[in-house]
Structure 1
Amino acid sequence: MRTHFDVFGLPRSHAVDVPALEKQYRELSLQLHPDRVGPGDAKARLAAVEGTTALNEAFKTLKDPVRRAFYLLKLHGVDLDREDAGAQKDMPLEFLEEVMELREALDEAIAAKDLPRAQVMAKDVAGRKAAALQEAVASLGTLEAAGDSPDGVRKASHALGRVRYFTRFLEQVDAFEEEVLA
């Protein structure tokens, strides 16, 4: 199976030189662009469109550190974008309780139209999200170096599950902020 890393000739790793990736993306975009194919060659034009689509998707995924981490986990057999993803059901109970408490506190702040309180909560959650992403990247690095292990996959899944929950929380705060400031 050809991965997004293969599209750019990169090793499977969370460590990506984004400026170099952007430069390579621009170069490959020019090479693969469908307009470079003659008008009479439908097969070559279709191949160019498919190549450009794959390039765009690979670039979108690899340039973003969070998407890149989720993609690496997917390459290890866990797709957290699927609704039935086992890791989301498998999150530690204490974390799920913590998330419920955070959500309730945010709902209270929103109901009270207390934007400063929501912003303080968001700052704390943003720090937790960054720490969870660091933990996931470390676990993914171990998986890439040592191969799949159930414990390593579980650790990365749980860390990225936390990233997902924290991202949703921050999106809710952003929406509240826009509503209040609009």
Structure 2
Amino acid sequence: MRTHFDVFGLPRSHAVDVPALEKQFRELSLQLHPDRVAQGNARERLQALEGTTALNEAYKTLKDPVRRAFYLLKLHGIDLDREDAGAQKDMPLAFLEEVMTLREDLDDTIAAKDLPKAQAMAKDVAARKQAALAEAVSALQSLEGAGDSQDGIRKASHALGRVRYFTRFLEQVDAFEEEVLA
């Protein structure tokens, strides 16, 4: 199976030189652009379109550190974008209780229209999101080096599960902030 890393000739790793990726994306985009085969037969045009689509998807995934981490985990057999992903159901109970309390606090803060408190909560959650992403990256690096281990996959999936919860929280704060400031 051809991966997003293969599209750019990169090793499978969370460490990606984004400026170099951007440069390579621009170069490959010019080479693969469907306009280059506009006069070609239907098969050539379809291949150019499919190549451009694969290139765009690979670039969108690899340029973003969070998406890249989720993608690496998917390459290890865990797709957290699926609703039935086991890791989401397997989150530690203490974390789920903590998230529920955090959500209730945010709901109360929004109901009270207390933007400064919501922003302070968001600052704390953003730091926790970064820490969870760093933990996931560390676990993913171990998986790339030592091969698939259930413990490594569990650590990465739990950390990325936390990233997902924190991202949703921050999106809710952003929406509240836009509503208040509009």
Normalised to the residue count of structure 2, the TM-score between the two structures is 0.99
- After the TM superposition, which residues 65-80 of structure 1 pair with which residues of structure 2 at under 5 Å, given as runs? 65-80=65-80
CA–CA distance in 1 between the matches of 2:5 and 2:120?
38
What's the secondary structure of 2:46's corresponding residue?
helix
Percent identity, aligned pairs only, is 85
Could you list the runs of 5+ residues in structure 1 that have no partner in the other structure?
A: none
Q: Which amino acid is the alignment partner of residue 86 of structure 1?
A: G
Displaced runs of 4 or more, over 6 A: none
Match of residue 16 from structure 1: 16
- 1:90-146: CA deviation from partner (whole Å, max 9, x where unpaired): 000000000001000000000000001100000000000000000000000000000
Q: What is the CA–CA distance in structure 1 between the aligned matches of 2:65 and 2:176, rounded to whole Å? A: 25
Q: Which residue of 1 aligns with 2:7?
A: 7
Tell me if 1:92 matches 2:92.
yes
Q: Is 1:37 matched up with 2:34?
A: no
SS across alignment from 1:91 = coil
AA at the equivalent of 2:73: L
How far the C-alpha of 1:40 sits from its partner, in A, is: 4.0
Q: 1:129 — aligned with what?
A: 129
Partner of 1:28: helix, strand, or coil? helix
Partner SS state of residue 10, structure 2: coil
Query: Structure 1's 122 and 36: CA in aligned 2 closer, same or farther, altered over 3 A?
Result: same
Q: Which residue of 2 aligns with 1:178?
A: 178
For residue 43 of structure 1, give the secondary structure of its aligned residue in structure 2: helix
CA shift for structure 1 position 38: 4.5
Greater Cα shift, 49-58 or 31-40: 31-40
Instruction: Note the alpha carbon deviations across 1:29-71, whole angstroms, 9 max, x for none.
Output: 0000111014241111110000000000000000000000000
- Which one is further off, 30-39 or 71-80? 30-39
Alignment of 1:78-157 (within 5 A): 78-157=78-157
Map 1:47-62 to 2 at 5 A: 47-62=47-62
The answer as to 2:182 corresponding to 1:162 is: no
TM-score (ref. length: structure 1)? 0.99
Query: Helix, strand or coil for the counterpart of 1:81?
Result: coil
Q: Gaps spanning 5+ residues in structure 2: where?
A: none
Distance 1:102 1:118 in 2: 11
